Chains A and B, each alone.
Chain A
Amino acid sequence: MSTGIARNATTPATAAAYDVERVRRDFPALRQQVHGHPLIYLDNAATTQKPQAVMDALQRFYLEECSNIHRGVHYLSQQATEDYEATRSKARRFLNARQNREILFVRGTTEALNLVAHSFARPRLRSGDEVLITHMEHHSNIVPWQILCQETGARLRVAPINDAGELIVEEFEKLLGPRTRVVSLAYVSNALGTINPVRELVRMAHARNVPVVLDGAQAAPHLKVDVQELDCDFFTLSGHKMYAPTGIGVLYGKAELLEEMPPYQGGGDMIRSVTFEKTLYNELPFKFEAGTPNIAGTIGLGAAMDYLEELGRENIAAYEQELLDYGTRALSRVPGLRMIGTAREKAAVLSFDLPGVHPHDVGTILDREGIAVRTGHHCAQPVMDRFGVPATSRASLGVYNTREELDALAAGLRKVTEIFGR
């Protein structure tokens, strides 16, 4: 393989088996200097860097098989169609879906959630019905539902979280009422890192015949996901947060639900036949893929999925978990630092507040050390309100981060406290 990753199916899922230096060599962007320091990229929850294999896939498409897919009889079009559809198979395996037609390519999680709200939930909602989300959602899992509730007269209910940033499961269960028509929640929170107990939550909802949408944007890069085992009705992911290009993502939906849903957008490719009197829609998944899709991005997503499978998703999860524990300990030694989000089950996110120092100042000082973190509300203003801060600083981990980088982060934060004279 061009990625140079040892593939070893018998490797146990331990961090020890994971060669992070080899992984780092696959990411050319990590070689650069920022303000005279080696780049330390800790903004992976916003978007990840891309491995050479993904960029090679994009380039190969544009150099050798650029053409439109489906309907083409010529060679290039057949090649491109094959590669595009091969990614659908990869995505099915990546999520362990039953069938390829349950995999829809979309722009990302935002589009996926809007599609579900519009085509799945909208026809089922009457005035007085309820949509249940949680207090830790990203704005993209709040606003589409708010719009929908405004249009239909339905009510948006919000399950609360505790001081550790964990969903209060009993309250969630209480909010599942006779009028609840859909539940939508993050598998992993981008602002807090909390991993929600989604299997249990899906079971609770299904016991009341309520379908469940999982926002998997922050889960797919870090956890092994099995949609059949989770039994969720929909699952979303954003390619750019898992080492693939921007502008491509996946919406998984159970076939029987997708079948009965009206299309999201009209156009080419999503139809079987068109006359001015009547249009017959295409079958799944094409019914939901109107127009020329992001072909190169899809092929790039396929390469990213291959890459993650080669690293081994259990290996990644184990390595990142160890890194998270290490980083948590390192940051806990920074004087005054308060972690925001201390759930027992967490993935890849270190969100924190340095009392008396605004995150924006933290971000500027770390940037001068070559350290990229995100500062702000992380598109989750209700979470900020819940913890009584206008913003946090957030370091988020990826497959290429190291303990040394987290030591550098802690040292950078000590410098912040020095400058601010504490």
Chain B
Amino acid sequence: MNDLRELYQEMIIDHGRRPRNFRALADADHDAQGFNPLCGDKVTVYLKLDDDTVRDISFQGSGCAISTASASLMTETLKGKTLAQAQALFEKFHRLVTGENEDAAAPELGKLTALGGVRDYPIRVKCATLAWHTLKAALKGYREVVSTE
């Protein structure tokens, strides 16, 4: 039960149930759809840039608590960030959820650290990173900020 609480922290349950920025963006200049065939999770990420800065970001879709909360927290975190910052956050976040780095809980991850429990559930890493990968796909080719995995 305790390790389950580690995965399903209040923040995850809350964002899973009441996701923030859960809407389409009418004036989006980038969007992409992501799909996790394992569990059928679907997500569309919308993005509006102001030069290199994320002016607005939102998402829609259906999925498990982990993927929904992750998408919600991602949109909250990235608003106002530059693409370079977003890229750096994704890399840190990825290390956090895969447990690659023991002290990965870098302070700049902020609320995203709530997803740290995923490291003990390798099969759920895809859920936690789906929105991020989708964001990357949305930006594919845009000023070459996006590196492929």
Show the binding face of A for B, using Cβ within 8 Å: 356-361, 364-365, 368, 375-377, 390-391, 415, 419-421
A419 touching B124, Cβ below 8 Å: no
With A376-B38, A376-B40, A391-B39 as contacts: A419 and B127 at CB distance below 8 Å: no
Closest Cβ–Cβ distance, residue B10 to chain A (whole Å):
9
Residues of chain B with a CB closer than 8 A to A376's CB: 38-40
Residues of chain A with a CB closer than 8 A to B127's CB: 360
A358 touching B5, Cβ below 8 Å: no
Residues of chain B with a CB closer than 8 A to A420's CB: 8, 13, 17, 65
A420 CA / B17 CA spacing, docked (Å): 9
Residue from A364, A375, A390, A421 within 8 A of B7 (CB atoms): A364
Name the residue of chain B whose CB is nearest to the CB of A377. Answer: B40
Residues of chain A with a CB closer than 8 A to B62's CB: 390
Name the residue of chain B whose CB is nearest to the CB of A381. Answer: B40
B8 touching A419, Cβ below 8 Å: yes
Q: Mark B92-136, 1 if CB is under 8 A from A, else 0.
A: 000000000000000000000000000001011001000000000
A361 touching B5, Cβ below 8 Å: no
B39 touching A357, Cβ below 8 Å: no
Residues of chain A with a CB closer than 8 A to B5's CB: 419
Residue from B7, B41, B65, B124 within 8 A of A357 (CB atoms): B65
With A376-B39, A421-B13 as contacts: A365 and B64 at CB distance below 8 Å: no
A72 CA / B127 CA spacing, docked (Å): 54
A368 CA / B4 CA spacing, docked (Å): 8
With A364-B124, A421-B13 as contacts: A391 and B40 at CB distance below 8 Å: yes
Closest Cβ–Cβ distance, residue A243 to chain B (whole Å):
27
Residues of chain B with a CB closer than 8 A to A421's CB: 13
Closest Cβ–Cβ distance, residue B57 to chain A (whole Å):
23
Show the binding face of B for A, using Cβ within 8 Å: 1, 3-5, 7-8, 13, 17, 38-42, 62-66, 68, 121, 123-124, 127
* A-B CB proximity, top 4 nearest: A358-B64, A360-B64, A360-B39, A390-B40
A421 CA / B38 CA spacing, docked (Å): 26
User: Could you list 26 A-B pairs, sorted by A, with CB under 8 Å?
Assistant: A356-B17, A357-B65, A358-B63, A358-B64, A358-B65, A359-B64, A360-B64, A360-B66, A360-B124, A360-B127, A361-B8, A361-B66, A364-B121, A364-B123, A365-B4, A368-B3, A375-B39, A376-B39, A377-B40, A390-B40, A390-B42, A390-B62, A391-B40, A419-B4, A419-B8, A420-B65
A360 CA / B64 CA spacing, docked (Å): 6
Residues of chain B with a CB closer than 8 A to A364's CB: 7, 121, 123-124
A421 CA / B65 CA spacing, docked (Å): 13
A339 CA / B46 CA spacing, docked (Å): 35
Residue from B13, B39, B41, B123 within 8 A of A419 (CB atoms): B13
A364 CA / B117 CA spacing, docked (Å): 13
Residues of chain B with a CB closer than 8 A to A368's CB: 3-4
A361 touching B3, Cβ below 8 Å: no
Residues of chain B with a CB closer than 8 A to A365's CB: 4, 8
Residues of chain B with a CB closer than 8 A to A357's CB: 65
A361 touching B38, Cβ below 8 Å: no
Residues of chain B with a CB closer than 8 A to A356's CB: 17
Closest Cβ–Cβ distance, residue B40 to chain A (whole Å):
5
A415 touching B39, Cβ below 8 Å: no
Residues of chain A with a CB closer than 8 A to B41's CB: 360
Closest Cβ–Cβ distance, residue B65 to chain A (whole Å):
5
A361 touching B40, Cβ below 8 Å: no
A149 CA / B108 CA spacing, docked (Å): 56
Residues of chain B with a CB closer than 8 A to A415's CB: 1, 4
A sample of 5 more A-B contacts (CB under 8 A), given A358-B39, A415-B4, is A360-B64, A361-B65, A420-B8, A420-B17, A421-B13
A361 touching B64, Cβ below 8 Å: yes
A415 CA / B65 CA spacing, docked (Å): 16
Residues of chain B with a CB closer than 8 A to A377's CB: 40
Residues of chain A with a CB closer than 8 A to B7's CB: 364
A361 CA / B128 CA spacing, docked (Å): 12
Name the residue of chain B whose CB is nearest to the CB of A391. Answer: B40
Residues of chain B with a CB closer than 8 A to A375's CB: 39
A107 CA / B140 CA spacing, docked (Å): 42
Residues of chain B with a CB closer than 8 A to A391's CB: 39-40
Closest Cβ–Cβ distance, residue A361 to chain B (whole Å):
5
A421 CA / B12 CA spacing, docked (Å): 12
Most buried by A among B4, B5, B63: B4
Name the residue of chain A whose CB is nearest to the CB of B121. Answer: A364
Residues of chain B with a CB closer than 8 A to A390's CB: 40, 42, 62
A364 CA / B3 CA spacing, docked (Å): 11
Most buried by A among B17, B39, B42, B68: B39
Most buried by B among A361, A364, A377, A415: A361
Name the residue of chain A whose CB is nearest to the CB of B42. Answer: A390
Residues of chain B with a CB closer than 8 A to A419's CB: 4-5, 8, 13
Most buried by B among A359, A391, A415: A391
A193 CA / B123 CA spacing, docked (Å): 28
Residues of chain A with a CB closer than 8 A to B1's CB: 415
Residues of chain B with a CB closer than 8 A to A360's CB: 39, 41, 63-64, 66, 124, 127
Closest Cβ–Cβ distance, residue B66 to chain A (whole Å):
7
